[in-house]
Amino acid sequence: MNRNEFISELRKRLRRLPQDEIESAVSYYEEYFNDAGSQNDSQTIAALGSPSAVASKIIGEYVVNDAEKAKPKRNNVLLITILALCASPIALPIVISIIALVFSIIMVFISIGFSGVAVALAGLFAIVIGFWSFSQGIATGLFYLGVGILTFVIGVVITGLSIKLGQVVFRALQKWIGKLLIKRGAK
Amino acid sequence: MSFVVAGVLLDACVLGALSNAPAYGYELTQKMQTRMDISESALYPVLRRLLKDDLLTSYDEPYDGRNRRYYKLTKKGAVALREYETAWQQYKNNIEQFLLHQDGEPQTKQARSCDTSGANGEK
């Protein structure tokens, strides 16, 4: 591999990042090669390691930073993360388990969220029944109305909590994977 | 075996290394590698982050028909460095309490010879 191949491979590995991130990294490493001296290209490449390891560290840093930011720009960070994991020097079975783990954790929160929605709907239904059964007597109507409101509120709270908690957990997972990429890119 | 310099500690070391004079990427990497076991590609993400946090600024200077990008400490960076210095003193003292057998007692000759042999044995 020569210098140009190294740089173009690096560019390819970084292609999912925003354009300014790619240019910044590529110009840094072009300058790095120049400063190391053109006759030392092969030594420099050996010292830098594989382009995928170099890219892995850059992407890891990007992912961690995004997770730490209060308002991340959601330009497909999940996709970038998954692709970076696949392109990283981490062994494929481990990558697959990490993706499966993240996927199942997301699924847990989504299903809790949906069950919350279902509970809230049941509550709404009971409220409707409540209004309807006022004709049967005030006590029956109030009973259904009360149960309905209570159930509805519980459902809304479950959904809200699962969304909030899901976001926090997702953010933490993102940061963890970013750190993993940085560490695995280390050598 | 050697201690890993990464994360916050690496940030602090980069700030410290740039506190006397600005440097370009290759120069900085070579300089830091003489003292610690970091990989050639370790510094780019660190520099990028420190630039984003306004702890560093960069400027280009023409050299040999191309540009060299120099990294320089900002005021904010100098303040951060001072904070890291204080935090490091504390951290170092705490570690030494255990590592150099200084737990409350004055360090004895025996204890000192014990660490050096330990350190040599590890290498």
CATH number at residue B66: 1.10.10.10
What are the distances in angstroms from CA B73 to CA A86, B6, B44, B70? 36, 19, 16, 10
Task: Please indicate, yes or no, if residue B93 is contained in any of the structural domains.
Answer: yes
Residues of B in contact with A32 (CB under 8 A): 25-26, 29, 40
* Number of domains present in the structure of chain B: 1
What are the distances in angstroms from CA A177 to CA A55, A94, B56, B77? 14, 12, 26, 28
Alpha-helical runs (H) found in chain A = 3-13, 19-36, 41-48, 51-68, 77-87, 92-132, 138-184
Average pLDDT, whole number, for chain A? 86
Task: Please indicate, yes or no, if residue B36 is contained in any of the structural domains.
Answer: yes
Smallest Cβ–Cβ distance between B26 and the set A24, A25, A36 belongs to: A36
Strand partners, B70: B24, B59
Strand partners, B58: B71
Contact at CB, A49 and B27, closer than 8 angstroms = no
Task: Please indicate, yes or no, if residue B65 is contained in any of the structural domains.
Answer: yes
CB contacts < 8 A, A to B, total 59
Backbone angles phi, psi at B57, to 5 degrees: -130, 160
Q: Kindly identify which residue of chain B lies nearest to residue A46, measuring between CA atoms.
A: B40
pTM of the complete model: 0.69
Q: Kindly identify which residue of chain B lies nearest to residue A179, measuring between CA atoms.
A: B7
Does the pLDDT value for residue A6 go beyond 90?
Answer: yes
Task: Please indicate, yes or no, if residue B19 is contained in any of the structural domains.
Answer: yes
d(CA B53, CA B36): 24
And the tokens for B91? 């951290």
Task: Please indicate, yes or no, if residue B1 is contained in any of the structural domains.
Answer: no
Instruction: Mutation target for A interface from B9, B41, B47, B56: give the one with most A CBs within 10 A.
Output: B41
Tally of CB atoms within 10 A around B11: 19
Asked if residue B25 lies in contact with residue A31, where contact means CB atoms within 8 angstroms, the answer is yes
User: What's residue A171's pLDDT?
Assistant: 84
Task: Please indicate, yes or no, if residue B16 is contained in any of the structural domains.
Answer: yes
Per-residue pLDDT of chain B (123 residues; tens, 9 = 90+): 578 787 889 999 999 999 999 999 999 999 999 988 888 888 999 999 899 999 999 999 998 888 899 999 999 999 999 999 999 999 999 998 888 876 655 555 554 444 444 444 443
Does the pLDDT value for residue A28 go beyond 70?
Answer: yes
pLDDT in tens, A9-18: 999 988 888 8
Contact at CB, B45 and A48, closer than 8 angstroms = no
Task: Please indicate, yes or no, if residue B2 is contained in any of the structural domains.
Answer: no
Residues of A in contact with B24 (CB under 8 A): 31, 35
Contact at CB, B40 and A49, closer than 8 angstroms = yes
B15 is in which domain, residue-wise?
7-120
User: What's residue B118's pLDDT?
Assistant: 42
Question: How is residue A38 annotated by DSSP?
Answer: G
d(CA B111, CA B123): 19
Q: Which of the four pLDDT bands, split at 50, 70 and 90, describes residue A22?
A: very high
Contact at CB, B42 and A186, closer than 8 angstroms = yes
d(CA A185, CA A179): 10
Q: Kindly identify which residue of chain A lies nearest to residue B33, measuring between CA atoms.
A: A47
